[in-house]
Amino acid sequence: MLFTRKPAAMPTPETALKGRPHPIPTADTHFVNGRGLLAETPAGFERAVFGLGCFWGAERKFWEQDGVWLTRVGYAGGYTPNPTYEEVCTGQTGHTEVVDVIFDPAVISFEGLMKVFLENHDPTQGMRQGNDVGTQYRSAVHTTSDAQADTARRMIAAYETSLAEAGHAGKITTEVAPLGEIYFAEDYHQQYLAKNPAGYCGIGGTGVSCPVGLSV
């Protein structure tokens, strides 16, 4: 996000920063739609969490989708409890920057969100996205059901085939794991590009379309 070089190897639980017992302050409401930022998932809706590089641009990709009820950004997949942004940026918390998405599956499916996810970053880059280098920029999908995990793995495999057919030699490095603890980021990170329309957005895909449908 700030074009600085960070460690490209994960810490261990023993070497990770210790963190703190209490959550760091975040926003009360979503800057774009006014909903409570920490609202519970409504009945009949679903939740999924995506890491695709800098969460500023990534969040906007998801809040723009019809059927997405709420987005919020945070840190997931690491060891340090309640980390600050500065701590995550050291590479010593193990977290990746993520977008937490609550959506209405009657309007947009998890498969549709996976298409947005895969097409808006390069999932073959390991611990980086373009100029953003470090463990917090790695590609990840944190799922909330076995069905989501199965769909994610099948679509990743299909997209890897599409990338190979388009001449991309790299293998997809996206992590797929059940959602564990997520720590919401500070107020100023939430809906950052709505608050700062000219702000930095490092999101960019491979230009290869992701197949969606019964054949996936």
Residue 24 in contact with residue 188, Cβ under 8 Å?
no
Give CA 201 to chain center in angstroms: 14
The structure tokens listed for 212 are 């969606």
Kindly state the DSSP code that residue 185 receives in the 8-state scheme. Answer: P
Residue 36 in contact with residue 29, Cβ under 8 Å?
yes
CB atoms within 10 A of CB 187: 15
Q: How far apart are CA 213 and CA 216, in angstroms?
A: 6
Q: How far apart are CA 50 and CA 8, in angstroms?
A: 19
Q: How far apart are CA 29 and CA 195, in angstroms?
A: 13
Which one is catalytic: 54, 89, 201, 210? 54
* Residue 54 bears catalytic tag: yes
Residue 76 in contact with residue 47, Cβ under 8 Å?
no
Among the listed residues 213, 210, 37, the one whose alpha carbon sits nearest the alpha carbon of residue 117: 210
Enumerate the active-site residues: 54
